[in-house]
Structure 1
Amino acid sequence: MGLLLMVALLAPGCVTAQSASSDDRRWINQCLRDNRDARVSQRVVHAYCSCMNDRMSNNETRSITQWERANPRAREACERRSGWR
């Protein structure tokens, strides 16, 4: 089982491999790469990225990292939800 799948299964309230579309997985994986140097656990980063992805429209063309800059309230809510401190 891959690390990403294991993290997805462990993170509460996150998009799982079964429920995520390929587009969701692509955005979440990009967010994980964008935050690879974060000083929090990968579990927290995955929960954060999944939360942000869930808040974005299915028609959104910006990456999670780009979208979060324009949506600070969503970013703050997902930081709290994921335990990012």
Structure 2
Amino acid sequence: MTRIALLLLAALVTSGCVTTSSGSADDRRWINQCIRDNADEGASRRVVTAYCACMVNRMSSNETRSVTQWERVNPRARRECSREAGWT
């Protein structure tokens, strides 16, 4: 996903769910689940959405684990996406 797509996702956050034409329906489903999983982590919705989109982008299209499960075994991707999203 390009930076433009990430910015678009962040802009659409206020709608309550991610509904972009870029990315597959499966990607949007994973991103929305990740947003729900991280809702109580203290970051803004914009930051959480950018983080989740980054993580989904790094995951294989054949991945069956949730973002939450995948991030536990991929700490480098978690740190990089946190930094990119502004989640400090």
| TM-score, normalised by the number of residues in structure 1 | 0.82
2:86 paired with 1:74:
no
Deviations for 1:44-76, whole angstroms, at most 9, x for unmatched residues? Answer: 000000000000000000000000000000000
C-alpha displacement at 1:40, in angstroms?
A: 1.0
Q: How many residues align?
A: 76
Q: Which runs of structure 1 show a deviation greater than 6 angstroms over 4 or more consecutive aligned residues? A: none
Match of 1:56 in 2: 59
The share of aligned pairs that are identical, in percent, is 63
C-alpha displacement at 1:18, in angstroms?
A: 1.1
2:31 paired with 1:24:
no
Please tell me the root mean square deviation across aligned C-alpha atoms, in Å. 1.9
Match of 1:8 in 2: 9
Unaligned runs of at least 5 residues, structure 1:
1-6
Match of 1:3 in 2: none
C-alpha displacement at 1:9, in angstroms?
A: 4.9
Between 1:16-25 and 1:38-47, the stretch displaced more is 16-25
| TM-score, normalised by the number of residues in structure 2 | 0.80
Distance 2:84 2:9 in 1: 15
